[in-house]
Structure 1
């Protein structure tokens, strides 16, 4: 069977390599938007939920290309802050992608909160649009706590503040090898892999029945 194309809406090379690695044994050609000349293709993430942003990005790309498409969105949800920063995680302090300012603001918001009430979860949503333009939504979640200060130089975003359940070190200390096995995005990608396997098996069954 000819390899199917899966086009990624992300321009993040780290994400591209991670997805290629997770899907490497499937008969799928994973392609970034940059590889097909759409590296300047950006969609405003103005949705009020991760799902809205993920679906919006996937649909916009699907309208431009042939093949399967995926897009994702993720965020950090603090229980005692009623889910903040949530969908606004990357611009919590007002400036898009300023990790230092975002972390500083979050610590300030939690400054009088005891450790037992600093529970949080990272969430990821991946939207897959099939060749038939069907929309499938996959989820991943990683629970943990927010510390009182930054620990570790690895990772990005809120990683130096977030200690995942079952560990005594932050994502900033644990590093990518462990993070990429237990993180919210790793879990969402594992669910994507299962979904793609089912799609591919269905296609094989259809090909065999039509012969």
Structure 2
């Protein structure tokens, strides 16, 4: 079975990948103490590939990286690629959510949004093996709801369910998430890869 390192130090995200892969790939977390990968691309796909190559050079094994974020229509795609550091500090979910609600207070007529996930799988040598993108459409709640998930999950409502991602159980979220859509698309490409290129 192919072993890959997930290019994230977010333990919630790594656990989601482990659960969604169901043993199709053997997942390893990044070793402690590694520097943050640069994320200065203009698209989610550019950032995912940048992270994958950065960490492959450090861990010397195949790396699966994602760049995910929220794009709000009335904010011209904000926070977009800046989703994790929207309020200025990387990974401050509470501050990011608060800023989003403040920004949307001026655009209450349209709260439509889309979660986007771009994935990139590279070899130990940094060669691009495959990539995929998944999306999920929804709306932004008036206030945070739910105790599960992370990031913008407490604000992202799935209209057909009437609940935020943070109000869903982990299996429910995985079934509807942008990350699952991207991962399904990527896994569909794996059987045609040249496994000799993984090293």
Normalised-by-shorter TM-score class:
0.7 to 0.9
Q: Show structure 1 runs of 5+ residues with no match.
A: 205-211
Match of 1:129 in 2: 122
Match of 1:102 in 2: 96
Instruction: Say if 2:154 is the partner of 1:155.
Output: no
1:85-125 alpha-carbon deviations (Å, 9 max, x no partner): 1011111112222222211111111114345x111000001
Q: Secondary structure at the match of 1:87?
A: helix
Q: Secondary structure at the match of 1:160?
A: coil
Separation (CA, whole Å) in 2 of partners of 1:155 and 1:18: 10
Q: Which runs of 4+ in 1 moved over 4 A?
A: none
Q: Secondary structure at the match of 2:189?
A: helix
Match of 1:29 in 2: 26
Separation (CA, whole Å) in 2 of partners of 1:203 and 1:56: 22
Contact 2:37-2:55 at 8 Å conserved across structures: no
User: Which structure's CA Rg is the greater one?
Assistant: 1
RMSD (Å), alpha carbons: 2.2
Separation (CA, whole Å) in 1 of partners of 2:177 and 2:114: 10
2:34 to 37, 40, 44: 40
Query: Number of aligned pairs?
Result: 195
Match of 1:118 in 2: 111
How far residue 153 of structure 1 moved from its aligned partner, in angstroms, is 2.0
Q: TM-score, normalised by structure 1?
A: 0.82
Match of 2:18 in 1: 20
Mark the CA change 1:30 to 1:174 in structure 2 (over 3 Å): closer, same or farther.
closer
Contact 1:125-1:140 at 8 Å conserved across structures: yes
- Of structures 1 and 2, the one with the larger relative CO (CA 8 A, separation 6+) is 2
Q: TM-score, normalised by structure 2?
A: 0.86
